[in-house]
Amino acid sequence: MRPKKSKKVRKALQKLQRSFSFRKPFQLLFDDALMAHLDKVKFPITVINNTFDYPKLFTSRCLYRKYHSMDNKNAVEKEENSANDHQTDENGEHECDSMANNSSDTAGTLNINDGVTRGNANLTNNQKHAASKTKDRFVKHIEIRNCLHKGDVDPTECMKRFVRKSNAKHYLLGCVSNSSKYKDLKNVPLVIFRRNGTLLLDTDNFGRKSNSEE
């Protein structure tokens, strides 16, 4: 991260500590979109630890489930595409062998079964590879906490339930740079993860009372 940006973030954190009773370790709340983004860009945890002095990172249970379902869907699609490509190659080989050698039905059956066995082995290797990649994902650093609502709600609403109106527990809310859905929250500093790898701490909406509180 650029030193100039990091310095601005630290100054904003000092203001939050001095004027609004924020304390270390800071608590950063992540939504499903941000977790997916950090995984995709392979965001280094050291940037967050160095900037926020080893904060607590967490998300809600339902947000984690949504992130996990999206992640599994992408993994399944990749495995299916890989399996289909492999099966296409195997079928092409069998057709060529049959036309060239005019082999018996029994021999053809043995060849096909052998190809399916190799295809299954390839799927198993893909699954092992996907499991090993999980170890390198950013989400492994994030704690999962129970939701503050019953039933299914919109992810944005789930986040808002955590911070509530006054943000009495002094959460910092992490979001991606193109997200504007949390701009209406009062007394909630936004940690903005930009696509160029830098962090911004937006405190413009902090210290102002919402209309319902005035």
Is 209 a member of any domain? no
User: Whole domain around residue 192: which residue ranges?
Assistant: 3-66+137-202
- The total domain count for the chain is 2
In a domain, 84, yes or no: yes
170 and 78 in a common domain: no
The mean per-residue pLDDT over the stretch 8-22 comes to 91
At residue 149, does pLDDT exceed 50? yes
Do 52 and 141 reside in the same domain of the chain?
A: yes
56 and 156 in one domain? yes
Same domain, 49 and 141: yes
> Does any domain span residue 165?
yes
The answer to whether residue 208 sits within a structural domain is: no
Q: For residue range 21-76, what is the model confidence (pLDDT) as tens digits?
A: 999 999 999 988 899 999 988 899 999 999 999 999 999 998 898 888 876 555 44
Domain boundary among 134, 160, 176: 134
Claim to verify: residue 124 and residue 173 sit in the same structural domain: no
188 and 153 housed in the same domain: yes
The CATH number covering residue 57 comes to 3.40.50.1010
> Which of 134, 155, 175 is at the close of a domain?
134
DSSP string, the chain: --HHHHHHHHHHHHHHHHHH---SSPEEEE-HHHHHHHHHHT--HHHHHHHHTS-EEEEEHHHHHHHHHHHHHHHHHHHHHHHHHHHHHHHHHHHHHHHHH---HHHHHHHHHHHHHHHHHHHHHHHHHHHHHHTT-GGGG-EEE--SSSS---HHHHHHHHHTTT-TT-EEEEEETT--TTTT-SS--EEEE-TTS-EEEE-TTTTPPPTTT-
Tens of pLDDT along 66-118?
888 876 555 445 544 554 555 545 555 555 454 455 544 434 433 434 444 44
Q: Are residues 141 and 62 in the same domain?
A: yes
**pTM (two decimals):** 0.67
Residue where a domain stops, chosen among 95, 111, 134: 134
Residue 5 confidence (pLDDT) above 50 = yes
